[in-house]
Amino acid sequence: DNCVEKAGTNINSPSSKEILMGRFLSLFLLLAVVLSCFAADAPVSEETIRKMKVKDLKKFLDDRGVECDNCVEKADFVKKAVAAAATPILASKKPKEVNKTPIEKQWAPTVQEICKSETEKEDFCKQLKGVIDGSFFQYMRKYKRDLSCVESHAAELSFKHPFATIYKKIVKETIQWMLKENTKKQDAVRKKYEARFTHWLRDVCLENPNPMYEELGEMGANVKAGGGKRRRDEL
């Protein structure tokens, strides 16, 4: 009976080889985790840096707290990034919280302010708001599908110059036209507004400030900005 009991115990118990394999696997996994932690702060190769776009180089430097105020050409950013290749990423650099509020709602207070500065006719402002909300909803859906436009990113970009400057101009010109024509007919207002709005939103989605800089007479400023992500004639 004792022999049978011992035999049963040996069968169910792990062998020395299995124990060693288990320990080896645990050590291997621990080593992999440690190496991955070191890899996160490992120096980035010069080859990788040279392949980066300017906006990526700017982020690379910003994440490491490295200033590059005198950088204009890509070569300037590359030189600075190569020098900072071994600099660890700042702990304070956390992913930005995404604002998921629809773009039309983010612009609503500004639109209301512009309209009130042009007229006291609340019914005109209400009609304009309805047109703007509908146009944003319709064309944002279209550009999400056709241009892979990300609404949260487009909304953030739309509040920056020159996009914001031109959009405020579009809204102002639309309300001025409504007052001049003394009309608040939805179809007419929509046609007037969308004649410029659709191109503006398209350029926002394409990250293309060129038409806006050109309209504002600031094309020289776009040299440093780096131009648009894609040209219209490439679509």
DSSP alpha helix (H) spans, the chain: 2-12, 16-40, 46-50, 54-63, 74-83, 103-118, 122-147, 151-158, 163-181, 186-205, 210-216, 222-225
> Same structural domain for residues 79 and 122?
no
Q: What was the pLDDT predicted at 30?
A: 59
Amino acid at 40: A
Together in a domain, 124 and 215 = yes
Q: Is there a single domain that holds both residue 199 and residue 134?
A: yes
Domain boundary residue among 32, 48, 83? Answer: 83
78 and 120 housed in the same domain: no
* 90 confidence band (pLDDT: 50, 70, 90): confident
pLDDT at 221: 53
Q: How many CB atoms lie within 10 A of CB 14?
A: 10
User: Is 199 inside any structural domain?
Assistant: yes
* Domain count across the chain: 2
In a domain, 1, yes or no: no
Please give the full DSSP string across 112-142, using - where no structure is assigned.
HHHHHHH-S-HHHHHHHHHHHHHHHHHHHHH
Residue 91 lies in a domain: no
Asked if the structure places residue 156 within a domain, the reply is: yes
Task: For residue 144, tell me if it sits in a domain.
Answer: yes
pLDDT-derived band at 9, boundaries 50, 70, 90: very low
Integer angstrom CA distances of residue 133 from 103, 107, 108, 183, 194: 9, 9, 8, 19, 12
Distance separating alpha carbons of residues 30 and 24, to the nearest angstrom: 10
Between CA 41 and CA 68 the distance in angstroms is 21
Residues 123-174 pLDDT 10s: 999 999 999 999 999 999 999 999 999 999 999 999 999 999 999 999 999 9
- Output the pLDDT for position 175: 97
Residue with token string 């906006």: 55
Residues found in the chain: 235
Q: Are residues 75 and 128 in the same domain?
A: no
Q: Which amino acid is at 171?
A: V
Same domain for 219 and 117, yes or no, is yes
What tokens were used for 106? Answer: 């983010």
- Regarding whether 73 and 28 lie in a shared domain, the answer is yes
Determine the structural domain holding residue 69 and report its residue range: 16-83
For residue 228, the Cα-to-chain-centroid distance in whole angstroms is 14
9 domain residue, yes or no: no
pTM, full prediction? 0.58
Average pLDDT, the chain: 83
